[in-house]
């Protein structure tokens, strides 16, 4: 009953909520001098697990070695990076409100789609149980 | 509950930008004040913004967003000197030291502050609807 889809949905919602917060953080700091914008990535990790890794994982010869790849959906953790890319403002702040607003809309739509999908799955179970 | 936290982050920015707006209106209100309790003409005020790092606060909550650490006096620009010999604050040559407030600059700052305020309002609105979407999951 609790298959891979559930886990992927959960991780996706978690990652999108994290990205939404980072976008909010970027927009909150549009006028803070020296602020470098944040970016959240997690889709590549999920993709590696569902479709197999694109790059070969590094070999681990000791159980204490940390893996460079998430081995299961549970291990996927959204990664937040500080991006000190091309600067276009004199106060060394690189937040572009247009990009952040677009990313916010995209994240929100993804999140809404995912909650609807989870909702549909729940209603499927309800039907199956005859409720 | 990151969606909840993003409302806090946006709220911190709303507060900061409203404070900036207050500072701008203070500057514009005093554009012709040649006398202050400290003596001399009014000096333009600017808020100093600082990022709040993702840290755990005293209440155990993760904080983030932006805060205004101080409202600084802009001492980099000199007061405007206006020739007005009949003014009580005029110096011996007839010049009055007026505040270093530039109306054009304040207007431009006002646009920046209000646009940032709107952007953060949009974040709050989206977060609210995402949250209600998550709550509706169990409705099926």
- Interval A14-53: pLDDT, tens: 999 999 999 999 999 999 999 999 999 999 888 888 887 7
Q: Do A27 and B112 touch (CB under 8 A)?
A: no
Asked if residue A80 lies in contact with residue B98, where contact means CB atoms within 8 angstroms, the answer is no
Question: Does residue B140 surpass a pLDDT of 90?
Answer: no
Phi, psi dihedrals of residue B35, rounded to the nearest 5°: -135, 135
CB-based contact, A33 to chain B, within 8 Å = yes
Q: Is B54 helix (H, G, I), strand (E, B) or coil?
A: strand
Percent of chain B predicted with pLDDT > 90:
72
Tokens of A36: 């470098």
Exposure b/e, A52-66, CB count within 10 A at least 16 = b: eeeeeeeeeeeeeee
- Nearest-neighbour CA in chain B from A56: distance (Å): 32
**Residue in A14, A25, A80 to test binding to B, most B beta-carbons within 10 Å:** A25
Identify the pLDDT of residue B128.
92
**Mean of the pLDDT values across residues A57-70?**
71
- With CA atoms as reference, the chain B residue closest to A117 would be B137
CB-based contact, A9 to chain B, within 8 Å = no
- Spatial distance between the Cα atoms of B66 and B23, rounded to a whole number of angstroms: 17
- What is this structure's pTM? 0.82
As beta bridge partners, residue A82 has A38
Work out the number of other CB atoms within 10 angstroms of the CB of residue A50: 10
Question: Shortest CB distance from B122 goes to which of A101, A111, A115?
Answer: A101
**Mean of the pLDDT values across residues A92-120?**
92
Residue B37 DSSP symbol: T
């Amino acid at each position: 009953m609790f298959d891979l889809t559930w886990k992927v949905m959960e991780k996706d919602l978690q990652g999108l909520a994290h990205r939404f917060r980072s976008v909010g953080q970027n927009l909150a700091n549009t006028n803070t001098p020296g602020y470098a914008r944040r970016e959240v990535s997690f889709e590549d990790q999920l993709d590696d697990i569902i479709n197999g890794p694109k790059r070969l994982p590094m070999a681990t010869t000791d159980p204490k070695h940390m893996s460079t790849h998430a081995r299961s959906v549970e291990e996927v953790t959204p990664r937040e990076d500080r991006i000190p890319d091309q600067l276009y403002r004199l106060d060394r702040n690189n937040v572009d409100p247009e990009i952040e607003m677009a990313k916010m809309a995209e994240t929100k739509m993804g999140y809404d789609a995912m909650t609807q999908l989870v909702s549909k799955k729940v209603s499927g179970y309800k039907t199956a149980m005859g409720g | 509950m990151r969606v909840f936290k993003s409302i806090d982050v946006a709220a911190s920015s709303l507060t900061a930008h409203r404070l900036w707006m207050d500072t701008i209106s203070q500057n514009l209100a005093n554009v012709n004040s040649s006398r202050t309790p400290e003596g001399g003409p009014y000096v333009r005020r600017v808020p100093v913004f600082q990022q709040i790092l993702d840290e755990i606060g005293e209440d155990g909550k993760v904080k983030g967003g932006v805060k205004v650490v101080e409202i600084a006096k802009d001492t980099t620009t000199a007061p405007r000197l206006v020739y007005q010999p009949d003014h009580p604050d005029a110096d011996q040559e007839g010049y009055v030291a007026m505040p270093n407030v530039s109306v054009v600059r304040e207007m431009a700052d006002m646009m920046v502050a209000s646009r940032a305020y709107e952007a953060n309002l949009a974040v709050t609105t989206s977060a609210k609807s995402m949250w209600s979407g998550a709550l509706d999951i169990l409705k099926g």
